[in-house]
Amino acid sequence: MSDRNAQPGSPDKEPASEDQAGRTALGNTERAEAATTPGEPGPRPTLGRLFLENLWAANTFTVTLLSLVLAMVVGAILMIISDPEVLATYGYITARPSDAINASWTLVSEAYANLFKGSVFDPAATTVNAALSPISETLTYTAPLVFTGLSVALAFRGGLFNIGAQGQATMGVILAALAGFLLPLPPGLHLLVAVLAGALGGAIWGFVPGILKARTGAHEVINTIMLNYIAVYFLTWLIVQNGVQDPTRTDAISRPVDASAQLPRLFGDGLRAHAGIILAVLATWAVAWLLNRSTLGFELRAVGANPDAARTAGISVTRTYVLIMVFAGALAGLGGSQMVLGTTAAALTPLVVAQIGFDGILVALLGRVKPWGVALAALLFGALQAGGNRMQSYSGISLELVTVLQALIVIFIAAPALVKAIFQLRAARTARLQTSLAKGW
């Protein structure tokens, strides 16, 4: 753990450089301000002053940014302790500390530079395609995460914890793929039907825990966990059935989805970004509208805030629970459908949905269960994923590090009190940060 002191803040190539500049500056202003204004309403602060004050308070933005920084610091430590060559330099750190610091710095900075180049922009790119490629990769990974994140967030707002986005995405991918290679339909219609089939699959899988919760009170956390696995086993069984399995293959892979059912690419054939990201933005807008502007959204939030009060006010809690889960399932199913209709894969395999359902839970929490927040969080996770691929191939840092980073970010976000204590943030004036949601079982 000595490396934390050895190189303060070194791992964070891009966010920290500006953040650190801000930190020193802020440390000063904060101290100055604390000395001059001991509480009484002084002269009206300027806009810039207000901005600076809030920047170092425990508000959503600052905590999110600092969580990212903390996660990257831990990631850097993991990289260093798992690299025998760099670790060897720490054996004689008292004799020549520069060796250890240089070796660590090179390792960590290169890895995080690759993370950036793989997800945002590579300065060495010469062609237009190469320059767009990182963004295209990021958007490809982002699109399904937006849907699963929205699915989890929507359920949260209604007071339900949907751990089943993984299973719902699995059922979505199954129905979307089946519609994609079994139905002989004309191009435009085929895509539409396949996408809707995906939504239907997810909706069915969301309906089950919804109706069980409404009818018997069975806790949705338990049921959705169980349904996740049932869906996976169903998928592995289905793939090897006649008519589904690719007749030219002996391993577990289905026939590929017809070209007429695939989402069009956005930047030409060389890049993977597809129309799924446009659907994702539309879905975000739709969920935001549903939550904040529609009657159902109002009922949903009322039930989420206090089911007893909602019932007293004449809202049918059972009906709302079922609807929430159906909508959440449909969203997750749409996310799943992109895994075969997009450019990630064209056929069903046992691992076709990857982790998008579980990642969706993290995305929803990171996005503070608000639709546009979820979209941004999905963008961050998509970028980490895309950059992680480059980090793996160029720096030899396993892609698993991205999983670690993602989990850590959410841990820190979920415990703002910890981040606040580490960085000595002042209490925020607004925004209650605690994302307290479900109530156990």
Partner 1 sequence: MSTTAVPDVAVAAVAEGFWTRNRKVGLVLLALGLLATVLFGALATGEQARFTLSEDAAGAALEVNGTVGAIVFGLIVLAAGGALLAGLPKRWFVPVLAAGLVAFVLSFLCWQVSAAPTGQNFMPLVNIVRGTFLLALPLIFGSLAGVLCERSGVVNVAIEGQLLMGAFSGALFGSISGSVWVGLVAAAIGGSLISLLLAVFSIRYLVDQVVMGIVLNLLAVGITGFLYERLMQTDAARYNSAPRFSNWEIPLLSDIPLLGPALFRGNIFLYLALLLVLVIHIALFRTRWGLRTRSVGEHPTAADTLGVRVLGLRYRNVVMAGAVAGIGGASYTLALFSFTKNMIGGKGFIALAALIFGRWSPTGALLAALFFGFADQLATYLGAINSVIPGQFLAMLPYLATILAVAGLVGRVRAPAADGKPYIKG
Query: Which residues of the chain form contacts with partner 1 (CB under 8 A)?
Result: 78, 82-83, 161, 163, 212-219, 221-223, 225-230, 233-234, 236-237, 307-308, 311, 317-318, 321, 355, 358, 361-362, 365, 398, 400-408, 410-411, 414-415, 417-418, 434-441
Q: Which is nearer to partner 1, 333 or 360 (CB)?
A: 360
| Backbone φ, ψ for residue 57 (5° rounding) | -90, 165
Q: How far is the CB of 132 from partner 1 (least distance, A)?
A: 29
- Shortest approach of partner 1 to residue 79 CB, angstroms? 8
Maximum pairwise Cα distance, the chain: 78
Phi/psi for 395 (5° steps) reads -100, -5
CB of 129 to partner 1, least distance (A): 30
- The residue assigned the tokens 């850097």 is 76
Using the minimum distance from each CB to partner 1, give the nearer residue, 266 or 407.
407
Computed over its alpha carbons, how large is the radius of gyration of the chain? 24
Smallest distance from the beta carbon of 233 to partner 1, in angstroms? Answer: 4
Query: For partner 1, which is the closer residue by CB, 261 or 402?
Result: 402
Phi, psi at 337, each rounded to 5° = -60, -30
Q: Residue 26 or residue 252: which is nearer to partner 1 going by CB?
A: 252
- 57: which strand partners? 426
**Nearest residue to 408 via CA among 77, 74, 71, 115:** 71
Q: How many residues does the chain have?
A: 441
3-state SS, residue 57: strand
The nearest distance, CB 434 to partner 1, in angstroms, is: 7
The minimum distance between CB 209 and partner 1, in angstroms, equals 9
Closest to partner 1 by CB, 8 or 440:
440
The residue written with tokens 């301000």 in the block is: 33
| Residue among 50 and 222 whose Cβ is closer to partner 1 | 222
DSSP for 230-292 reads HHHHHHHHHHTSTTTB-TT-SSS-BPPPPGGGSPPBSS-TTS--BTHHHHHHHHHHHHHHHHH
If the CB atoms of residues 54 and 355 are measured against partner 1, the closer one turns out to be: 355
- As measured in angstroms, the least distance from the Cβ of 64 to partner 1 is 15
What's the number of CA atoms in the CB half-sphere (13 Å) around residue 271? 22
Rounded to the nearest whole angstrom, what is the least distance from the CB of residue 160 to partner 1 in the complex?
Answer: 11
Nearer to partner 1, 138 or 162 (CB): 162
Please, are residues 378 and 335 in contact by the beta-carbon 8 Å criterion? no
Instruction: Map residue 426 onto helix, strand or coil.
Output: strand
